[in-house]
Structure 1
């Protein structure tokens, strides 16, 4: 494992203890050889009892994805939902290569319950078997389906937001760009949770977290290479695959962006927020001091984890009027 020689911000002490426990259990640097292992052993699996306890019902629907191929979405509806309320469209994380539509969903379900919103989460196809543009185009297809079926889902089509974490954050940003450029569906907000936005591997934070932390520089290269192949880092990459490359962010919906100060994605996420402001788009940015990538998932009850989750939930509730 190559340890970075660059100085870097320290990890939050409470989270550093969590990191140490994680490192004893699993390798923290992700490799291509680990893809089938992680897929076969997904973390954070929710049961029917979990969904029931959270106050929601879940049903699966097969829809047309990219090029008309079948993909799955799950519709998560608060119990007692009767009127047309907001819609939340969710794109999961997993480095573009792992994860399923329920990955990280435990943090989005409270937004739906708070606001009597219907949550739709998409099973987009994964790289490397399905490289770009399959993931983002599947995500856009799912958003189109959600908007087209808003009435039967109990959703106001004028009140749909998009949210995703990590790779899903990058896909949410790319899907928002597609929705703008293809003139619909119109989104009212985008929640980009430590989003994976830039394939070029040039930022300071990329160099600082090489061989240290969660989803380090080498891990990130694995994910982007799976998605883009030999195009990674070249000029032949679309803004929908790597939204950090976009030079025109005008007309996008308001954004919430968060990340940790101690992760690879820090600088590209901060730059994206700055680019949104420069384009006249409202954005709220949080950089949590000492946070590693995905710390809210593995340490939700830490002081920093609670603060991160509460800030995110408050923004969504303001947006949706809860």
Structure 2
């Protein structure tokens, strides 16, 4: 493990999604303890996207932005808010030069699949229809997220392709949980890794799926056909149960004729990018902005 990251491991609280309210409280407190993000040079606005039900979003708009990114937070579909995600969203807007639309999708287990996906897809549709109002190009919309949010981004691409929905220029899939079957090497062997363990994954999936069987829109690794999807940046952490399903997703995209950049970050663990004092975290964050800037400028 990267020594800068390893020093923080004993300080990390355990994630117990079996008690969603307690876990949300811990997650909120950790986010609130961090320094406020630098939003100078950004216009930040809270909006409500009309849907059933309406969806709250927070928009981060840099000067002279052309493209937009629909951004979904992580947290096992169980924790996370617009406030806890502002550190990621503001940084991505500043480094990518794109309008970042951070989505407060409904959380499970109170709102199981497909509630979160429906919310995210409603925001995608709204952003495409209101591109002029947002000051962006309707043909330069990307989707992205971390962990469960990356699952939603990949699922949005499948749904938009299948339903001839709004065009998606690019997908950013960071440390995604994509497969409910837990049969990859990393899912079977990384059972007690920091933040994300086999039990955490299983509980998150149980909350999210509820009583429904997994479909490709809930677990994109189950999709038989990945052709016709947007180009992708897929990032994985070395010590993460999610690692191998991310790598397999990238390889399957390539085999389906989709352009992919796959970046496996050595020495990292799931969510370690939040330890922003580490050099590797700074490089990971910078890379997110760089690939989005390039993809939306092309």
Q: Secondary structure at the match of 1:259?
A: strand
Counterpart contact for 2:49–2:55, Cα < 8 Å: yes
Q: Is 1:63 aligned with 2:49?
A: yes
Counterpart contact for 2:72–2:153, Cα < 8 Å: yes
274-283 vs 117-126, which deviates more?
Answer: 117-126
Tell me which of 264, 283, 286 is aligned to 1:310: 286
Instruction: Give the match for residue 227 of structure 1.
Output: 208
Quickly say closer, same or farther: Cα 1:318–1:246, change in 2 above 3 A. same
Q: Secondary structure at the match of 1:157?
A: coil
Residue 286 of structure 1, CA deviation: 1.1
In the alignment, structure 1 segments of 5+ residues that lack a partner are 1-10
Instruction: Give the match for residue 177 of structure 1.
Output: 158
Residue 102 of structure 1, CA deviation: 4.1
Alignment root-mean-square deviation, CA = 2.1
Cα distance per residue 1:164-222 (max 9 Å; x no partner): 00100101111111111111211111111101111111111112221332211000001
Instruction: Give the match for residue 102 of structure 2.
Output: 121
Residue 283 of structure 1, CA deviation: 0.8
Taking the aligned partners of 1:278 and 1:153, their CA distance within structure 2 comes to 36
Quickly say closer, same or farther: Cα 1:104–1:258, change in 2 above 3 A. farther
Please list, as runs of the form range in 1=range in 2, the aligned pairs for 1:1-322 lying within 5 A after superposition: 11-22=1-12, 26-27=13-14, 29-33=15-19, 35-41=20-26, 42=28, 43-45=30-32, 50=36, 53-65=39-51, 68-78=52-62, 80-81=63-64, 85-231=66-212, 236-297=213-274, 299-321=275-297
Taking the aligned partners of 2:130 and 2:269, their CA distance within structure 1 comes to 38
Taking the aligned partners of 2:44 and 2:33, their CA distance within structure 1 comes to 11
Quickly say closer, same or farther: Cα 1:111–1:98, change in 2 above 3 A. closer
TM-score (norm 2): 0.92
TM-score (norm 1): 0.86
Structure possessing the higher radius of gyration over alpha carbons: 1
